[in-house]
Amino acid sequence: MNYYVLGSKYYKEHLNRWVDVFQRMKEKGAISVGWASRYNLSAYYGKPESDIVNYLKSKKEEAASYNTLKLFLNLKPGDLIAVKDSGSPKGRQPYLSIRAYAVVVERDGEVYTHDPKDLGHLIHVEFIEDSSFIELPLGGYGRTIQRLTNREHTEQIFSLYHEALDTTGSIKGKIRTKINTSKQYRTGSAAYIANAAHNILQKKVYEYLCERFGMANVELEKDNIDITLDRSNAITIYEVKPYLSAKQCIREALGQLLLYSYRYHVQALGQQLQLAVVGPNEPSLQDSKFLKYVKDSIRLPVKYMNFASGKLNEH
């Protein structure tokens, strides 16, 4: 398994500008590159890089074309992809923004598909999350596709997804005993990876709350709630989401939290009810605006918390 950063914009010479193609990638369930788009490279998928380079050189393709395609055509099922919005520095500061995360998959017996009338070359993926906006102070990611070799950068870019996978690509799912592991997902799928990341984050939050408030006051999977903290004057429901975008964590958790709030309202236990979405990352400015809109709209005590440096941080 390898980690890659891939661009989401094509330069259109006839328009003299960059064109965003990410929405079309989502629609096709694929990532893509547009170099040498008139050639069907099915015969070269998975071939040695030198074979791909030599073939494209024979077609008079430029270096950027064959350097891109030698990597793209060797993406394998299970490889993780961070789809970037921008890799250009801001002034003198290095900058990388990520808009989606995906895992390469085989679909109908194929990983690669030629798409000459639209995006050019496709690699099938499942998106783990597709509405991220993760900003990182990292430089050196200006090319169309890059395989990550810097472990520190890999950990920063892929965060909890990287932690959820060991070096062989297998899920670290057996580190938990009390947490519900009944859900079964196809190995290597987006749901499989997200579930593994969820389990790791859930375990960390559970252990933190137990240490702080006592194990007797913390329950896992009570009525399908990720974590419940029951104190004399308040009940706090924690819905854990593994997505690296705080906005996506909030969006995915909201329906569940509304249902849990309704249940406790009906039971009328006489305790204050608090609702918390827990994700791995701090919210961006846009995430915070979205959270404020949610709070103002539903008028329930919803907060977002991220788990970092061994503790929960409220935002």
The mean predicted confidence, pLDDT, of the chain is 89
Amino acid identity for residue 248 in this structure: Q
d(CA 59, CA 53): 10
Second CATH level (architecture) for the domain 3-163: Roll (3.10)
- For residue 223, the model assigns a pLDDT of 87
What is the distance, to the nearest Å, from the Cα of residue 171 to the centroid of all Cα atoms in its chain? Answer: 16
Lowest model confidence (mean pLDDT) among 18-22, 188-192, 207-211, 275-279: 188-192
SS3 209: helix
Helix axes 49-58, 63-72, angle to 10 degrees: 150
d(CA 33, CA 287): 30
- For residue 200, the model assigns a pLDDT of 93
d(CA 63, CA 56): 9
Beta-bridged to residue 236, according to DSSP, are 229, 274
253 pLDDT more than 90? yes
175 pLDDT more than 90? no
273 pLDDT more than 50? yes
31 pLDDT more than 80? yes
Query: For residue 252, what are the contacts with CB-CB under 8 A and spacing of at least 6?
Result: 241, 243
State pTM to two decimals.
0.88
- For residue 143, the model assigns a pLDDT of 94
- What's the CATH code, domain 190-314? 3.40.1350
d(CA 143, CA 290): 32
Q: Let me know how long the chain is.
A: 315
Print burial letters for 4-33: b (CB count within 10 Å at least 16), e (below 16): bbbbbbbeeeeeeeeeebbeebbebebbbb
Lowest model confidence (mean pLDDT) among 81-85, 179-183, 210-214, 304-308: 179-183
Of the candidates 87, 43, 33, 111, the residue with the CA atom closest to the CA atom of residue 65: 33
- Cβ(87)–Cβ(96) below 8 Å: yes
Strands 145-147 and 3-6: antiparallel
What is the distance, to the nearest Å, from the Cα of residue 252 to the centroid of all Cα atoms in its chain? Answer: 13
Long-range contacts, stretch 43-47, CB < 8 angstroms, 24+ apart: 44/73, 45/73, 45/111, 45/112, 46/73, 46/74, 46/76, 47/73, 47/74
Per-domain residue ranges for the chain? Answer: 3-163, 190-314
Interior angle at CA 118, CA 116 and CA 122, nearest 5: 70
SS3 256: helix
